[in-house]
Amino acid sequence: MDSPDVVKEKCGSLMPCIHGCDAHSNSKIFAPDNDRFCWIKADPTFKGLKQVLYEPKERVRISSTMPDTRPSYYIIDRVEISGNKDFSPEPLYFSDKLTCIIGGKSTGKSLLLYNMAMAIDEEQVKKKEETASTNVKRIPELKVYWHDGVCSSERDKQRKIVYIPQTYLNRLSDEEQETTEIDTIIQEIVLQDEKCREAYRMMTKRIAEKKQEVAKSIVDFLRIVSERKGLCEQCKAIGDEKSIDSEIQNLNIQLEQLSKEYNVTEEEIKKYQQSMENIQLLKGRLAAISKEIALIKEITAIVEVKPLAMKEITICSNSMVEAAKKVKRIADEAWTAEREKILNKAYNYQKQVESSIREQEEIVAALQPKMEGNERISKLSEALVSEREKLSQLAENQTRLKTIQEQYGQYLEVLSHVFSEFSTIYLGYINSVNDGFVPSTDDLEFSVKRVLRIEQFSRKVGEILDNRSLKRFTKFSLRDITEDDLQPANISAFIESLLCNSIESLQLKTSYSIEAALREILSDWYNVDYIVKMDNDNIQDMSPGKKALVLLRLLISLAESSCPILIDQPEDDLDNRSIFDELIRFVKEKKVDRQIITVTHNANIVLGGDAELVIVANQDGKNAPNKQFRFEYRGGAIEDISPVYAEGVLDAGILNGKGIQEHICEILEGGEQAFALRQHKYNFIKNSLLGNQYHL
């Protein structure tokens, strides 16, 4: 087989190879050797056949199967509008590659495309209307049929499209929101890569988990703060250890003097006091064990199936569910047996404590007559018991306060690292993209960076804090925050300043509680910033035309890249150079992989893109009458030069009176010039004797 260079040398240019079956018998007809069928993409006319000379690569293939096929569920087959007097009920068919809808102003081009998109994906259209500000009439009777027979009215069989309304790309470029739809589009491109998609899933999962962890930490931290405050108040109410010790010594001296004056020994007083103290201590233990017994009785199971892990399992899910039930049942039975053992031990301990209380009460009852016989001794004994209880309570509070202070420090440490931990989570995803993502197109460069939303964060701080107290915080300027300011030490100081009740501390506005303020401030303030470059230009710095072209290319390259794309007048968003140099080449490449249906006024898109089907739209008018309906459409190939005849007579209506080629020249901007640029393909000439009729 000759190479392309050899063919060019022999023939002057690449030539189509048309291979017949070379049948010498009836049995060989339509049965070429090795199934080497010849496929020709053209109107089934001599004029159509002639096009293979000018576009051999696109128009002719020798193959056992039809070339450039794709699953039928990715192809819009036709549109039907039944029961609407303004439209013909006849089906309007579409090419599986590039279909261009052309026509004059208000002829129903955008009307058709818009309602096709609405019939397929109303949610997407309405969302994009917010950006494009389109205002097109609905045709509720319109139904879209896919090549596999599915109708758009079957809501349980919804299909995906990408719809780009008129002026959408430019308006998209003008968006100034924090996260624009451009970011969403680029993200969808990046997430086509499996590794990036998994990294993104892990990032969002970890962020969600971190948010829950932070929310819980805030609640626990404030509980510790409240408990610490309560213990400090209790300690203040009890008094200081030195003063209580001094009071106990004083009471002991008084009791010692009284014991000498009255018939009560010092040993009896000590025994009485000790028993009183023991009773109080034992009653506390009895209350504690009784509470624990009640709690243990309520615990019917100690094993739970973790739902989060089950979400990750699909193929073995049923087996996992059954296994989990079995393990839980065994665990519950084992727990029931062990719980009975624990409760028996607790009951025995409860009985021992009750017995000890009775013993101590007997000692008190035996000594009480002597103590009550002398009111002064009795009161001093009670006072001594009370002071010793205070001392014991103070020691217990101080021990608890030390533990709480340690917990306070731990929670404060966790909360002060919130920003750095969110940052680390984002960096994991960003590194995965920047190190591993390979875009499908060579001339577009993708990268990702993490961005702290400084302005939004500063604004939120201003909403929460009393402005008069902002200047009191000296660690960093709360009015002019930088990312460097959000270090753990500074965040720790910020939190403690919020908790402090002194006049120098930060003050909240009355509408915020401490918990609400911490939830708002210690949140995820990071964004992923997606960057696309073409020819070393960042998308944010590109001219409007170039940016619109890049956006169009991104949209066409979206996930599920085989789904149809419906574009309304892309030339409105692009400059002529972008259309001629970039858009046409890109559309010709992509139409092989996916169906493209576009409304256009630009002849270069139709002719340069080598549209497989051109649909001419017309609205009935005085100078452009239709055959029967207000809106009519006629489809055909670029090379179609034939008017439509009915029973040998030229059919009525402006659409039927001319061939598709002539409609292109009359309707489209630069139509004649565009054909002239394709003379090497179409050998286009204008026959002045035939007026506006153009021939190949």
Q: What is the pLDDT of residue 678?
A: 60
Q: Which amino acid is at 661?
A: Q
469/221: higher pLDDT: 221
- Strands 565-568 and 537-538 come out as unpaired
Q: Mean pLDDT throughout 652-667?
A: 90
For residue 554, the model assigns a pLDDT of 77
User: CA 87, CA 629: separation in Å to the nearest integer?
Assistant: 6
Q: What are 100's strand-pairing partners?
A: 598, 614
- Position 374 scores a pLDDT of 63
Q: What is the C-alpha separation between 65 and 56, in angstroms, rounded? A: 18
Summarize the confidence of residues 62-72 as an average pLDDT.
85
pLDDT tens sequence across 585-638: 888 888 888 899 999 988 888 888 889 999 999 999 988 999 999 999 999 998
* Secondary structure (DSSP) of 50-61: HGGGT-HHHHEE
Q: Where are the strands (E) in 313-394, listed by range?
A: none
Burial class (CB in 10 A: 0-12, 13-18, 19+), 664: buried
**What is the structure's pLDDT at 173?**
61
- What are 474-486's pLDDT values in tens digits? 666 766 778 888 8
* Helix spans in 500-639 (H): 514-521, 544-556, 576-578, 584-590, 603-608
Least confident of 321-325, 646-650, 671-675: 671-675
How far is Cα 579 from Cα 588, in angstroms, rounded to an integer? Answer: 12
Chain length of the chain: 696
Integer-rounded Cα Rg, in Å, for the chain is: 43
Q: How sure is the predictor about 399, in pLDDT bands with cuts at 50, 70 and 90?
A: confident
**Per-residue model confidence (pLDDT) at position 687:** 34
Place 653 in a pLDDT band, splitting at 50, 70 and 90. very high
Mean per-residue pLDDT, 502-516: 80
pLDDT at 338: 92
The pLDDT confidence band at residue 670, using thresholds 50, 70 and 90, is low
- pLDDT beyond 60 at 64: yes
pTM for the full predicted model: 0.65
Strands 685-686, 694-695: pairing is: antiparallel
Per-residue pLDDT at 47: 81
pLDDT of residue 480: 75
Alpha carbons 491 and 478: distance in angstroms, whole number: 11
Q: Which residues does 656 contact at the CB level (< 8 Å), separation at least 6?
A: 627, 634, 643, 644, 650
Give the C-alpha separation, 199 to 219, whole Å.
30
Please give the residue that has the higher pLDDT: either 346 or 235.
346
pLDDT at 434: 87
Given this model, what pLDDT does residue 674 score? 62
Segment 241-284, tens digit of pLDDT: 788 788 778 877 776 776 666 666 767 777 877 888 888 889 88
What does the block give as tokens for 13?
A: 């240019």
Task: List, for residues 292-316, the tens digit of each pLDDT value.
Answer: 999 999 888 888 777 655 556 778 8
- Each residue's pLDDT tens digit, 526-577: 988 888 887 777 777 777 777 777 777 777 765 456 889 999 988 887 777 7
pLDDT in tens, 203-219: 999 999 999 999 999 99
**What per-residue confidence (pLDDT) applies to 686?**
34
pLDDT attached to residue 392: 79
All structural domains of the chain, each given as residue ranges with its CATH number in brackets, are 4-63 (no CATH), 73-178+545-552+562-695 (3.40.50)
Which residues, at least 6 apart from 219, have a Cβ–Cβ distance to it below 8 Å? 515
**pLDDT tens by residue, 94-151:** 999 999 999 988 899 999 999 999 999 999 898 888 777 677 899 999 999 999 999 9
Q: With 80 as the cut, is the pLDDT of residue 379 above it?
A: no
| 350 pLDDT above the threshold of 70 | yes
Chain segment 435-450, per-residue pLDDT in tens: 877 665 667 778 888 8
Mean pLDDT over all residues of the chain?
82
- For 113-128, the pLDDT digits (tens) are 999 999 999 998 988 8
